Structure 1
Amino acid sequence: MPDAPVHRPILAAEDDIFDVLVIGGGVNGCGIAMDAAGRGLKVLLCEQDDLASATSSRSSKLIHGGLRYLEFYQFRLVGKALAERETLLRNAPHIIRPMRFRLPHQPHLRPAWMIRIGLFLYDHLARRETLPGSTGLRFDASSPLRPQIVRGFEYSDAWVDDARLVVLTAQAAARHGAQILTRTACVAAQRADGLWQVTVENRQTGQRSQYRSRALVNAAGPWVDSVLASVIDTTVRRPLRLVKGSHIVVPRLHPGEESYILQNTDNRIVFVIPYEDDFSLIGTTDVDYQGNPAAASISAQETDYLLRVVNAHFRHQLSRSDVVWSYAGVRALFDDANGKAQAASRDYALDIDTRPGQAPLLSVLGGKITTYRRLAEQATDQLCELLHSPARAWTADSVLPGGDFQDQPTLLADLQKLYPWLPSNMARRFARSYGTLTHDLLQGCRSLDDMGRHFGADLYALEVRYLIRQEWAINAEDVLWRRTKLGLHIKGGAVAALQDFMDIRSKWHTP
């Protein structure tokens, strides 16, 4: 695969006009950039930090319809998300995989008949092509749950490596000709002569460049309001609500591959999800948030809340000392500030600002990671109509980079046959992170020694160089927490050594 064109210096020429300029390198912004570039539009995307550095890497890592949204009568959203679940399972089999969820029954919270009706709807609101339907369960002495919990239900959803979904979508956009500028903030945008005049600033060098575009997309997520107010000098025309969701990671709570969905007395639910083999991911909370979304972190109250819910269900009891990592993400929900945060809609809206003779502005409001492809498709449909550039939608049947293989077991067997020297744990991680792009990563390698310097866990210099060249990685955090999750294993001096290594190599590819 050719190197993504992001790391070369870009000088904006006066006659260089883009069709679409996207602000925001989260899942929605990258999705729109990919779809638009694939339809032949000339696309530029700018992201003030790393790809997926905020909300899009701080999710519950689920591709799901949202079983709990049925209680809020959001049937259209759930059906739409369930349909997308099947599409994404086909298009990204390396980073998205089926997962069974167990729901312990607590009769005093929700009666069994209510749960059965909800699961029936969940099974049938959209066509299921690959996933098995729901069923009832009996828990015995081997269950990790408390002994008084003897009955439950099981249903299907899917797990996703959220940050890698964003990066691979950006790779697909770049393959179709989009320019992806990371660490580049949009600092000003004005309409002039039927175009957008946009000023961006490289946050590493301070260098500013100007671009012109026929349309502007504000996909800044929780910053969408501030971009409208401080960059574009306008206001959002629909209500937005910032809600923080927090998660904790603890040592593995149970040996099985299934996840648990736990009910609580406040009518919220908490997921317990197998995570990176050795851990369990627990979340999420829903708390109204004010302030800089980049500074969001879990509170002591949220940590205690999650621990309390889990301890009410599992035999093994957790304390704060068991938490090995935590994170919090802020979502901009398309909703007013009335009612509970947990009831705020997870649906999305596309706000189009068109004025006679002036360039259009499209703002993305709300949304969830499961519906990002459909959101991007609808946004690009509208952009193509506004720009009088008809082109058919194409992403529903388009596999993301690395996803062109039959299934995970077959891919893993192929990798072990082609690279017999590769340790099994690395082969498995590569299959689940890079898919067939593993062949690009390992090109020319004939032994583990060929992978160069070892930074700890199973991270070697060859992979780091690949991430710099092909995936816009700049620093150790990009590598350890977004491109991989090896930050759970690599600590202290090894992180500093990795950063020193990247400081030298990144200079070769940074504007």
Structure 2
Amino acid sequence: MAQDSPFDLLVVGGGINGAGIARDAAGRGLSVLLCEQHDLAAHTSSASTKLIHGGLRYLEYREFSLVRKALQERETLLRAAPHIMWPLRFVMPHMPNLRPAWLIRAGLFLYDHLARRELLPGSRGIDLHTHSAGAPLVSSITRGFVYSDGWVDDARLVVLNALDASEHGARVMTRTKLASATRANGLWRARLIQADGTAFDVHARAMANAAGPWVGELLRDAIGSNTTQAMHDAQRDDPSNHPNDSANHKPSYAVRLVKGSHIVTRRLFEHDHAYIFQNPDKRIIFAIPYERDFTLIGTTDIEYHGDPSRVTITAEETQYLCDSINRYFKQPISPRDVVWSYSGVRPLLEDENADNPSAVTRDYRLELDHPDGAAPLLSVFGGKITTFRKLAEEALDKITRALGAPVPAWTAGAPLPGGNIAHADFAAFAAQFEQQHPWLPARLARRYARAYGTRAARVVGEARSLAELGHAFTPDLYEAELRYLREVEWARSAYDVLWRRTKLGLHVEPGTLDTVSRDIDAWFARKTPAQQI
């Protein structure tokens, strides 16, 4: 495949950090190629607890800088995409045997004041005998605290960053794996392989390794141990190539893979607050209103040593999460009540001082490998979804300086696609969208507004009736939306649609999921063209 000129930046990894870096880079005027071996947000970035939060529990580990940085980002992100992110109030029931009330009050005071708040109300104590959040709790719990953080549709956040990158000129290639990368003549020469086995080379002035759980493997196998032979092959093919063996760089940081699993049950409470529960083992478990009819419960923290793409929840984790809930709720749950579960591997920054996976820092480090005259390589170690934008901003500051053309940051005040909602008032926007499309069922109109924001009208297109939206794969999923997801958001399979870009898999009629998935996959097989560079 022909490439007229080198890209300024090749980004490897289509999770939140890679998509955020690609977006920031393209907006600064760099020519960008983002490659992802699977789908966008296929792994860690769609397996989070789906919170935009400072991390209240990290205060116990004295992670004040990380918490402050995350708290500063909350309202920036809430303004950037109010359709997929919104404020959420959290209730912490007080268990005197776990943490004294004065310690919780002190922590919440600090949490309220480490960063400026404009959208989010502060914390306060509550009487759980009178507050609505007390109704589902066991009667022995009488006091609690309430504070603010934010909710996010994590997989859609990744897609919107990739879409914004694309609309600023970036090339986004999913299901495209980096096989090897070689420095030569001041450039990176990267071999990419698509899902159908097609292999081709691209050249880039700089590369960002944002492969998440695979960041170390990529350095070792694609950019490390295989690089020397690849460079010699490149020089044999083109004697003018002058390879630089400094590509065999030993990184200063490493990641520690920690598995986090979640379960989903039918709705366990009627109000719109979330819960944060303290466990005797000092772990924190959330119970969050989810997809209108469900409750999301998680997460676990377990050291992981397998293939990050094959991570699954265990029976022990499911029971642990059920037991955690049963300490607090009157109505107990069991594994039989779980309607869906998911697991992800978090690539946490290695911390030799933390034996407990829960205590491992959620902060990040950026390492720039830029030997004299060689193409820069920036690698991302660690991080959390709340700080992705700041991480990307810092990454691009380093990369543009290394390329000799620093460009000012721009993303802090920029909305994501669909997020340009007046005054960040989603309720007013959604009501207006419903009025403009009175033929849409209210529930469907609301879902379109939530998922796509001001882009929802593009999903509907010229349709003026449900029939004009095309074939209904489910009562809530029409061909018009599939077409949009394929043409605009890189969806290529039923799983991409039902479990990442939407969560409609939860709402499919019992016993029909396999049939619906086959029908959607067949539709994609008929419609999806091969990617070209």
Note whether the superposition's TM-score is higher than 0.5: yes
What is the letter of the counterpart of residue 154 of structure 1? V
Partner of 1:426: 444
TM-score, structure 2 as length reference:
0.92
Partner of 2:235: none
Matched, 1:12 2:28: no
Give distance in 2, aligned partners of 1:43 and 1:50.
18
Give distance in 1, aligned partners of 2:516 and 2:458.
26
- Report % sequence identity: 54
Give distance in 2, aligned partners of 1:238 and 1:224.
10
Matched, 1:360 2:350: no
TM-score, structure 1 as length reference:
0.96
Partner of 1:102: 91
The answer to whether the 8 Å contact 1:457/1:489 transfers is no
Partner of 1:449: 467
1:499 Cα deviation from its structure 2 partner: 1.3
The answer to whether the 8 Å contact 1:346/1:366 transfers is yes
Partner of 1:507: 529
What is the letter of the counterpart of residue 250 of structure 1? T
Partner of 1:312: 327
The answer to whether the 8 Å contact 2:351/2:361 transfers is no
Partner of 1:378: 394
Partner of 2:300: 285
The answer to whether the 8 Å contact 1:20/1:43 transfers is yes
SS in 1 for 2:181: strand
Give distance in 2, aligned partners of 1:93 and 1:347.
25
Partner of 1:223: 214
Task: Name whichever of 50-59 and 401-410 sits farther off.
Answer: 401-410
Partner of 1:266: 281
Give distance in 1, aligned partners of 2:390 and 2:154.
16
Give distance in 2, aligned partners of 1:462 and 1:240.
41
Give distance in 2, aligned partners of 1:411 and 1:445.
20
What is the letter of the counterpart of residue 328 of structure 1? S
After superposition, the C-alpha distances for 1:340-392 in whole angstroms (9 at most, x for unaligned) are 00000000000111111111110000000000000000000011100011211
2:61 to 72, 77, 87: 72
Give distance in 1, aligned partners of 2:22 and 2:345.
22
Give distance in 2, aligned partners of 1:413 and 1:306.
37
SS in 1 for 2:54: coil
After superposition, the C-alpha distances for 1:390-418 in whole angstroms (9 at most, x for unaligned) are 21100000000001112111111111111
Matched, 1:212 2:227: no
In the alignment of these two chains, the number of paired residues is: 499
Equivalent runs, 1:23-42 vs 2, <5 Å = 23-42=12-31
The answer to whether the 8 Å contact 1:457/1:486 transfers is no
Matched, 1:437 2:437: no
Matched, 1:180 2:172: yes
1:206 Cα deviation from its structure 2 partner: 0.7
What is the letter of the counterpart of residue 107 of structure 1? P
1:459 to 477, 500, 510: 477
Give distance in 1, aligned partners of 2:358 and 2:475.
38
What is the letter of the counterpart of residue 506 of structure 1? T
After superposition, the C-alpha distances for 1:166-200 in whole angstroms (9 at most, x for unaligned) are 00000000010000000000000011011110000
SS in 2 for 1:477: helix
Give distance in 2, aligned partners of 1:417 and 1:438.
13
The answer to whether the 8 Å contact 2:175/2:194 transfers is yes
1:387 to 403, 426, 429: 403
The answer to whether the 8 Å contact 2:216/2:254 transfers is no
The answer to whether the 8 Å contact 1:468/1:509 transfers is no
Matched, 1:168 2:179: no
Give distance in 1, aligned partners of 2:406 and 2:398.
10
Give distance in 2, aligned partners of 1:373 and 1:39.
14
Listed as ranges, the gaps of 5+ residues in structure 1 are 1-10
Give distance in 1, aligned partners of 2:380 and 2:495.
27
1:508 Cα deviation from its structure 2 partner: 7.0
Give distance in 2, aligned partners of 1:301 and 1:510.
45
After superposition, the C-alpha distances for 1:223-261 in whole angstroms (9 at most, x for unaligned) are 001101110014432132111111000000100110000
1:189 to 178, 181, 190: 181
The answer to whether the 8 Å contact 1:145/1:314 transfers is yes
What is the letter of the counterpart of residue 312 of structure 1? R
The answer to whether the 8 Å contact 1:245/1:287 transfers is yes
The answer to whether the 8 Å contact 1:480/1:487 transfers is yes
1:509 Cα deviation from its structure 2 partner: 6.5
Give distance in 2, aligned partners of 1:207 and 1:335.
36
Equivalent runs, 1:291-310 vs 2, <5 Å = 291-310=306-325
Give distance in 2, aligned partners of 1:45 and 1:304.
39
Give distance in 2, aligned partners of 1:217 and 1:509.
22
